[in-house]
Chain A
């Protein structure tokens, strides 16, 4: 079962997305902010990371940069979710290490489709 780390400071969205992802067969570990997400990754690991960008403390951008610098986590697939849809923000996301970037609001089927693409592309499933 593919384990997904879901990091978003919006509790309602975190609960909804956890439910959606579990319904699609993913195991979900949820974190309310970037620092907690980092601790979870270091302690428990994950197969995929879904990160909100606008989180207090450690943003999704900075978390992605940290992940790419860590020898144990540097190949972790990252999908970023965000309301920040400006071109410059998306470029920053990719430059910090995101594999894909999904602007909010998004349709549930597109989130699942993009996660499956990531798995196919990266995990070759």
Chain B
């Protein structure tokens, strides 16, 4: 299982050096970064993680940047750090924008570790199960691999459909949901079919057949599997 990602997004100064040492002593692998943009790009690639982010690195457009990050990576906990003198109103606004905590710079390393463990008690079960759950960007389709369950919210959160999919269709849908909105190459879909059926002789035309079946089961609602000429298929909602 991949390790849980930790980031320390800050200049390489104190107290961050002491904090990094303390976290490493816990056996946690910490990625230290000096730029917010690098962290945001990495955070967008994972399902869950935890970051200590030095406040000034967010820049003047801090709150919208944070909101954008959290909408792309809701299970990445972002703990802002800064001086105790920051007005409480401002801290609350950053909480509203998506920050998950505020850690004063004067926090001793031992207390920081205790606080992070409190966050991890809640976050790690999510991390363990997060990779089992995917959903479309609009939240209309939700798929849970561990339960082999698909839910489609058709109308503004009211009607919930649970189409019965074969293992092959389920695998195809999961593959499309891993890159929502983007075209997934036919070769990638074919490989997922071969994994689902354990049949190395599956022919390329079988992808189209199963996509048609999947389209029928997903219905005529807001979710569409569109053919992308020369590439493969894309799932859009």
Contact = CB atoms under 8 A, between A and B. Distances in A.
Contacts, number: 41
Interface residues of B, number: 19
A107 B118 contact: no
A121 B111 CA distance: 20
A122 B96 CA distance: 16
A99 B119 CA distance: 7
A91 B110 contact: yes
B74 to A, nearest CB: 9
Given A87-B111, A99-B122, A109 B95 contact: no
A38 B89 CA distance: 34
A87 B92 contact: no
Contacts of B121: 99
Given A94-B118, A117-B100, A110 B88 contact: yes
Contact of A121 (B108, B117, B122): B122
Given A94-B111, A107-B88, A122-B122, 14 more contacts: A87-B108, A91-B110, A91-B111, A91-B114, A98-B118, A99-B121, A99-B122, A100-B118, A113-B92, A113-B95, A116-B95, A120-B100, A121-B119, A121-B122
Contacts of A120: 100
**Chain B contact surface mostly:** helix
A110 B94 CA distance: 12
User: Which of B108, B115, B118, B122: most chain A Cβ within 10 A?
Assistant: B118
B88 A121 contact: no
Task: Assign chain A's interface to a size class.
Answer: 10 to 19
Given A121-B100, A122-B122, A109 B114 contact: no
Nearest to B116: A94
Nearest to A93: B114
A90 interface: yes
A95 interface: yes
A54 B72 CA distance: 41
B127 to A, nearest CB: 13
Nearest to A94: B114
